[in-house]
Structure 1
Amino acid sequence: MSRMKPLAPPLLLGFESNDSILAQIARANDGYPPYDIERLREVGDDPERLRITLAVAGFSESELDVSLQANRLVVRGRQAERADGDFLFRGIAARQFQRVFLLAEGMDVLGATLKNGLLSIDLARPEPAQVVKKINISTAQ
């Protein structure tokens, strides 16, 4: 018995490449750091705004990297191992992470801020243009 992929035809056409992207994202996200995604209140005609907040306690701004690669928002953290100090117990390890978020077409990253160990990334989702295209039907000879 063959297993049908979630984005396989005939259900969704033209999304075959997204299947591999989803598999890659599933492997990249191991649960650390924890995060929230919230919808911010809309004001007037402004586009819908979202905020991703990651708990990155112990990371400085220089140890964090936020980048947009195609339609993927990639957040990386790299802490250097601290050799100095005479520890009696060491429970806080220097840790690296990579968290990937797949963004819908047209999503715009507005900016990122680091405050009190929380990295907040603001996004805007503009209202999609409603386009109706008439397809002419020709008769086959």
Structure 2
Amino acid sequence: MRSAFDFAPFRRSTIGFDRLFDMLENSASGQGNEGYPPFDLIALDDNHYRINLAVAGFNRDQIEITAHQNQLIVSGQRGEDEGIDYIHRGIATRSFERRFGLADHIKVTGADLRDGLLQIDMVREIPEAMKPRKIELGTGEKAGQQIELGAGKKAEPQTEAKKLETA
């Protein structure tokens, strides 16, 4: 099923955003089991997040959580209740699979099942090399030194006055 929006022009003019466009197209197409189980997405602070899924009737052995290539997959498989004669069955016991797209550098740090709620904790861990850093003026390796230009020529460090004169 195609989405209502055509992403082809964007795919042709961008590099590395294929996963984003695939995610947008998949979410626009809709999936039949989207409402079960219900969940909450919580931002605990700027870098910590939590997903709460209502999984009443499932125990720890029946739930599987997998983080793989920027995607979190939570699935539950429940066996049949044999020997029980239900008069009314209102608690859903069907199997489920929920998929959550994770941004780059989001790591799943833990999960816990308590009182029918599955809590999955995540943290954004940005590598030091990608964090913004302030560069102080005049702290370069060659600051204030003559630089070898080649063929025996040397360049003097230019002061602001010399830079303005040559401009």
Give the Cα separation in 1 of the matches to 2:39 and 2:8.
Answer: 25
Name the counterpart of 2:49.
50
The percent identity for this pair of structures is 36
Aligned-pair CA distance for 1:12: 4.2
Flag the structure with more relative contact order, 1 or 2, with Cα contacts below 8 A and sequence separation at least 6.
1
Report SS of the residue matched to 2:22.
helix
Which has more radius of gyration?
A: 2
Task: Show CA shifts across 1:3-47 (max 9, x none).
Answer: 5218824664321244234444653751111111111146xxxxx
CA contact (8 A) 2:64 2:76 kept: yes
Contact in 2 for aligned 1:35/1:52 (Cα 8 Å) = yes
The residue number in structure 2 matching 1:135 is none
Q: Any unmatched runs of 5+ in structure 2?
A: 134-167
Moved over 4 A (4+): none
1:90-141 deviation digits (Å, cap 9, x = unpaired): 3334211000000011111100000000000000012462469xxxxxxxxx
Pair 1:108–1:21, CA change in 2 (3 A): same
* 1:6-21 correspondence runs (5 A): 8-9=10-11, 12-21=14-23
Structure with the bigger percentage of helix:
2
Return closer, same or farther for 1:23/1:119 CA change in 2, 3 Å cut-off: same
Q: 1:86 to 1:16 in 2, by over 3 A?
A: closer
Matches within 5 A, 1:1-141: 4-5=6-7, 8-9=10-11, 12-24=14-26, 26-27=30-31, 30-41=34-45, 48-127=47-126, 129-130=130-131
Aligned 8 A contact 2:78 2:95 in 1: yes
TM-score (normalizing by structure 2) = 0.64
Query: Are the equivalent residues in 1 in contact too, given 2:105–2:126 (CA < 8 A)?
Result: no
Alpha-carbon distance in structure 2 between the residues aligned to 1:29 and 1:6 = 28
Pair 130,12 (structure 1): closer, same or farther in 2 beyond 3 Å: farther
> Is the alpha carbon distance of 1:8 and 1:54 closer, same or farther for their aligned partners in structure 2, counting shifts above 3 Å?
same
Normalising by structure 1, what TM-score?
0.74
Point out where structure 1 has 5 or more consecutive residues left out of the alignment. Answer: 43-47, 133-141
- Amino acid of the structure 2 residue aligned with 1:94: T
Tell me the SS of whatever aligns to 1:62. helix
Matches of 1:56 and 1:78, distance apart in 2: 11
